Amino acid sequence: MKNLFVKIAAAGMLMLAPAVAQAAEGYSTANVNMRAGPSTRYPAVAVIPAGSSVEIRGCLSDVNWCDVEFYGGRGWVSGQYVQALYQQRRVYVGPQYYRPLGIPMIRFSVDNYWDRYYRNRDFYRDRDRWSRGPDYYYRDRDNRDRDRDRDNRDRDRDWRERDRDRDGRDRDRDWRDDNQRGDQQRDDRQRGDRQRGDRQGDDRRGDDRRPDRRDFDCRPGDPSCAE
CATH of the domain at 109: 2.30.30.40
Tell me the per-residue pLDDT of 76-126, one tens digit each, with 9 for 90 and over: 999 999 999 999 999 999 999 999 999 999 999 999 999 999 999 999 999
DSSP assignments along 95-111, one per residue: HHHHHHHTPPB----HH
CA dihedral 99, 104, 124, 139 (to 10 degrees): 50
Residues 97 and 181 occupy one common structural domain: no
Q: Which residues contact 135 (CB under 8 A, 6 or more apart)?
A: 41
131, 146, 172 - which closes a domain: 131
Residues 25 and 127 occupy one common structural domain: yes
Percent of the chain with pLDDT over 90: 44
d(CA 75, CA 81): 14
d(CA 47, CA 25): 18
Residues 23 and 71 occupy one common structural domain: yes
- Quick check: pTM over 0.85? no
Question: Is the residue at 190 inside a domain?
Answer: yes
Beta strand 65-70 with 73-78 is antiparallel
Residues 137 and 110 occupy one common structural domain: no
Residues 156 and 112 occupy one common structural domain: no
Residues 23 and 70 occupy one common structural domain: yes
The reported pLDDT for the residue numbered 75 is 98
Residues 99 and 30 occupy one common structural domain: yes
Whether the predicted pLDDT of 65 surpasses 70: yes
Considering its fold, how many domains does the chain have in total?
Answer: 2
Residues 92 and 179 occupy one common structural domain: no
Question: Is the residue at 215 inside a domain?
Answer: no
Residues 84 and 39 occupy one common structural domain: yes
Question: Is the residue at 212 inside a domain?
Answer: no
Residue numbers of the domain that contains 99: 2-131
Average pLDDT, stretch 164-185?
79
131, 158, 190 - which closes a domain: 131
Question: Is the residue at 139 inside a domain?
Answer: yes
Strand partners, 69: 55, 74
131, 162, 193 - which closes a domain: 131
Residues 90 and 175 occupy one common structural domain: no
Residues 17 and 116 occupy one common structural domain: yes
Q: Is 130 exposed, middle or buried (0-12, 13-18, 19+ CB in 10 A)?
A: buried
d(CA 127, CA 115): 9
Residues 37 and 115 occupy one common structural domain: yes
